[in-house]
Amino acid sequence: MDSSTDNQKTDRTAAGDNDVQRTISIGERSISYLKQFRTPAIPRNYEIFYLHSSGQNKELSDAIRKALRAHSCLTEEDAERIYEEYIQPTAYAAQVDLVGGQISSEIKELLTAIATASQKTGLFGNSLKGITEELGAVRSPSQLNIIVKKLVLSTNEMTDYSHDLEMRLAESRQQIEEMHHNLETIRAESLTDQLTGLSNRKRFDEVLETEMKEAEESGEPLCMMLMDIDRFKSFNDTFGHQTGDQVLRLFAHTMKANVKGRDLTARYGGEEFAIILPKTKLSAAVSLGNQIREAVRSKELIKKSTGESLGRITMSVGISCHKQNDTAEELIRRADMCLYAAKNGGRDQVKCETDPGIDIETEAA
């Protein structure tokens, strides 16, 4: 083995060692940030600080610095917002590009197969034309026998190729259907909150706009409900974020179990949730709000690992109803006003915009 080969191997080994050392250094800085800013060391938060430490995403780093200036730590709401805004879209975009490339490649191969089939068909047609002309010159059984053999051979070749093409088309159709399904899955995931399985804020905004347009045109009622788990920050601080996540999942399950039809349940942000209620009057929305609130309050929380009772949680609810010429911002603002009134009035209650003492013209605090 010559010295140049040895030198190349040495260079590759050194480069590999440098990459390992660099990633370890970034990982150590990420962990130090988690400790410094009192942030739970869950995979999502580690990924946020890893990208921040690597300097790969300036916008993400700016958002982290802004959040730290505001709260001196990275809150659950900050981490969730930063992840959804700066990391999750990139991951979904990469998945879409990958599947899109696969579909493009499959279509190109399919077009090539079809073009080849067209050529084969043309050749077969020319062969038949030639055989037809030869038939006009047949003067003996032996000549006819030769022509028949040519015809059988050409027909068999075309039949075999047609069968192969049919199989290729069927295979391509299946592959394209599978890739289309993968794209639909990616799209669904991009509109779903990964922790609770509910729709995320992006999906909520899309559906609210659609339902408001339909309500505007049809005159049908439309209500929107904002819900917040009472004293959830204190619960998180006492029992930890993992237990807090279990509470969020339980809350989401209770919500889904009590809605039906076109009603959309969404995680609005942090411990705040929302439900869009098409073709639902305000009185029915208030009844549903109380139904969910009572279902949540009836559940005693038990820590699985120890059997320890963690008590019960309660929720506050604010409900608004669509008015002609409403904007989404106005509908949300009024629901938020009612939610604030429920919180300020002692929590564990439902407030709607027609309740006494609700001043919907005043901005929520």
149-153, 170-174, 245-249, 337-341: segment of lowest average pLDDT: 149-153
Residues 270 and 297 in one domain: yes
Arithmetic mean of pLDDT, 87-100? 63
In a domain, 360, yes or no: no
In a domain, 92, yes or no: no
CB atoms within 10 A of CB 160: 10
Residues 334 and 313 in one domain: yes
In a domain, 62, yes or no: yes
64-78, 92-106, 259-273: segment of lowest average pLDDT: 92-106
State how many domains the chain has.
3
78-82, 99-103, 266-270: segment of lowest average pLDDT: 99-103
For the chain, give the percent of residues with pLDDT over 90.
30
Residues 343 and 302 in one domain: yes
In a domain, 153, yes or no: yes
Integer Cα distance of 249 and 150 in angstroms: 72
Q: At which of 150, 171, 190 does a domain end?
A: 190
Does this model's pTM top 0.95? My answer is no
Give 362 or 20, the one with higher predicted confidence: 20
Residues 141 and 214 in one domain: no
Residues 338 and 240 in one domain: yes
Strand partners, 319: 225, 352
Arithmetic mean of pLDDT, 19-44? 81
Q: Which amino acid is at 87?
A: I
Residues 234 and 160 in one domain: no
Arithmetic mean of pLDDT, 141-154? 62
Distance set, CA 1 to CA 4, 5, 49 (Å) = 9, 7, 45
- Residue-wise pLDDT for 324-337, tens only, equals 889 999 999 999 99
In a domain, 102, yes or no: no
Strands 300-302 and 264-269: unpaired
Q: Which amino acid is at 79?
A: A
In a domain, 103, yes or no: no
192 DSSP 8-state letter: B
Residues 216 and 324 in one domain: yes
Question: pLDDT class for 239, splitting at 50, 70, 90?
Answer: confident
Residues 180 and 211 in one domain: no
Q: 69-74 long-range CB contacts below 8 Å, 24 or more apart?
A: 72/37, 73/37, 73/38, 73/39, 74/37, 74/39, 74/45, 74/48
228 DSSP 8-state letter: E
Q: How many CA atoms lie within 13 A of 286 on its CB side?
A: 14
In a domain, 278, yes or no: yes
Integer Cα distance of 323 and 317 in angstroms: 20
Question: pLDDT class for 322, splitting at 50, 70, 90?
Answer: very high
Q: At which of 190, 212, 230 does a domain end?
A: 190
| Annotation says 209 is catalytic | no
Question: pLDDT class for 288, splitting at 50, 70, 90?
Answer: very high
Residues 58 and 146 in one domain: no
Q: Which amino acid is at 192?
A: T
Contact in structure between 181 and 240 (CB atoms under 8 Å): no
Give 269 or 332, the one with higher predicted confidence: 332
Residues 339 and 216 in one domain: yes
Is the pLDDT assigned to residue 167 strictly greater than 90? no
Residues 209 and 243 in one domain: yes
- Residue-wise pLDDT for 168-179, tens only, equals 667 766 776 776
Residues 247 and 338 in one domain: yes
Integer Cα distance of 34 and 39 in angstroms: 5
b/e burial code for range 316-337 (CB count within 10 A of at least 16 → b): bbbbbbbeeebeeeebbebbbb
Structural domain span for residue 16: 3-74
Given its phi and psi angles, is residue 261 left (phi above 0), alpha (psi -120 to 50 degrees) or beta? left
- The CATH number covering residue 254 comes to 3.30.70.270
In a domain, 57, yes or no: yes
- Phi, then psi, of 263 in degrees rounded to 5: -55, 135
Q: Looking at 76, 211, 271, 272, which residue is catalytic?
A: 271
